[in-house]
Structure 1
């Protein structure tokens, strides 16, 4: 299977770089990681999924990161861009080089992938909303639909933020499910929750805001799913992410 300038032979457990005519007989860890990424190409895989693929005696975050770095090193500077980290939570192996797409953007954004660009736009929208709420409280500006969630610890404002390229219906489905989970929390730790959906409905970006002793606190949380399901968003995940207590 072709991966940029390299050929991955699954049967022989080898990765051959055709640009410098070198071949690598892969160790078990690197082979296991690449084999799973190839099997689910163009899909985001969480670190937990990749760790489960690694032999048990090597199943550590350090070994996984080391394997990713070795794979990128052998792929070379250009082809290594195909193996992308997603917000320090998972990885995706792209089929095509993003740099081959014609761009009209120059500067630092020119090397940005489509996924990262979409996520950046979503986060900028969230930031604009937050700036309005910080510095212009007298204005009744509602760039997104506000929902009041009644919880046992008080009222929480929830804002679903639409992202260009993502179906509106998917955000509505996510909102209904997310609100149900928030309502079930014993205690919600934040006053305002902004949620957007990116990366082909697989990455959820959440911005949290609250007032503590006259100061505004903001926190960013991301959730990754290997598919479009949102079942991982439960009470355990909400508490681990610091959204609920």
Structure 2
């Protein structure tokens, strides 16, 4: 099955990038998610269905699902970043690859235009871009590597954001985000609505910032955990209970 510029071999659990001649043996979560998206291509697949799969394995967590989609998108490459659409609060939709090829078709049509008209268009675009760039606020906050949302028993929703210096070698951060998300999801209710976490460059300090409201007032809590052991754990269920992670 063709997915973007990759060939998906479901039986072998492989995603092969044909242009780069690279193969990725998909982990269980990524294989489960991509299989369901391919089987229902062009249709919305709910988060519940993606997490439970065929029922042969334990369900994925919300963080594991979001991480799997992120990893698949990263392997497909930026030119196919819109191939898997996030439908907020519902699930994901895998678009037909043909829709991505239309972009290159329009590009080739642009190439057939007279050179002076192409220069005129790009010159106009650069002028407009320069005008707006000179007037916008450049203090844009760093985009999270991964964001996911999960509900509590009370009906409240908490959004968890993971931040990293790069998009590679973040296995430990994803694991910590998974543990943190599981701990927060056990809260019947919480003072927090947004949770931000990051791992230091040397992977020895885990930072957690919790934001929310209590008694009509904005509240914030910062936690910084150091762990110099190997392997590193940073947080576990007992620790989350001791610090009163629910607020």
TM-score, L = length of structure 1: 0.39
